[in-house]
Amino acid sequence: MSSETTLPGLVPTARQVSAVVVEQEKLATNTYRLRLKCPELAQQIRPGQFFMVKEPGTNDPLLGRPFALFDTYEEDGLSVGIDFGYVSIGKLTNLMTHWSAGDPVQVWGPLGNGFPEPGDGHLMMVAGGIGQTPFLAVARESLGLKSYGNPPRELTGRPSKLTLAYGVRSKDYLAGIEQFTMEGLDLQIATDDGSFGHHGFVPELLQNAIHSDTPPDKVYCCGPEPMMEAVQKICLQEKVACWLSLESPMACGFGACFSCVVPVRQADGSWDYKRSCVEGPVFPAETLIFED
């Protein structure tokens, strides 16, 4: 049974809930999928949104961490929980590898803006490492296999072509390939060391697609900052509409602490800091300023 409390008024739809671990699966080297039962969150969340996760009953680690929705799961036709992916690289994520069925977890969300509607052209999703996480729900929604949100979002168009270009450093880090294998999705893989798929970096797959017979009309991208910066540059040069989903560090997730601010270009050419957790994490590529 999960209890529910509202968060401060900055994100009216978000709730803090007591979730329960349903299962955990190792997907690849240091990479896991966790399934949590939390119907309140599962019924609201949309592709590209995220939630915060914290180990309950401890201040070590003190803070929660943001995770993007991988997918929701259903019982009796109703969304009752969420799946998400993570890489064990810090205190909380190392602890999480020991979580097992029945363990309680503190969760709050849904948070952030999510991806815009995919539209009816060629949508290309470009992912680096664990940045593939948000794209399973995008793909399933775009292909009409699932709907998300309450009320469920009714898309006004569906992509004529859907591509996921997914890059990792070597084949041992490929996570979720089984889930991404679906009719209607062109899955392209790049590995830095050439151990699987294209030998090279994933922005090269975007370049190839742009110069193909069916170039993308729209690009969604999530991954490490240098890779997103490369994708931003390509899309600006080639005049392809692009949205980047940032993986900013976050402390609260609902707009109160300003730990997640990023410089964003304004319509008048000036720039201002925006909170990635509220105004993002998905931003039009042309508005983001990457700081070296």
Q: Which residues lie near ligand FES (CB under 6 A)?
A: 250-253, 255-260, 275, 277
DSSP string, 49-108: -EEEEE-TT--SS-S-EEEE--EEEEETTEEEEEEEEEE--SHHHHHHTT--TT-EEEEE
Give dist(CA 247, CA 173) in Å, integer.
18
- Nearest distance from residue 152's CB to ligand FES, in Å? 27
Residue whose token pair is 């080297």:
29
**Residue 109 or residue 167: which is nearer to ligand FES going by CB?**
109
Q: What is the smallest separation between the CB atom of 114 and ligand FES, expressed in angstroms?
A: 16
Q: Which is nearer to ligand FES, 24 or 259 (CB)?
A: 259
Which pair of structure tokens corresponds to residue 154?
Answer: 């009714």
User: Closest distance between ligand FES and the C-beta of residue 256, in Å?
Assistant: 5
Beta carbon nearer to ligand FES, 43 or 259: 259
Closer residue to ligand FES (CB): 27 or 45: 45
CA distance 55 to 5: 17
Min dist CB 66 to ligand FES, Å, is: 8
Distance CA 130, CA 223 (A): 7
The tokens describing 35, both together, are 């399934």
Q: Which is nearer to ligand FES, 167 or 253 (CB)?
A: 253
Beta bridge partners of 5: 16
The least CB distance from residue 249 to ligand FES, in Å, is 8
Please state the φ and ψ torsions of residue 232, each to the nearest 5 degrees: -55, -45
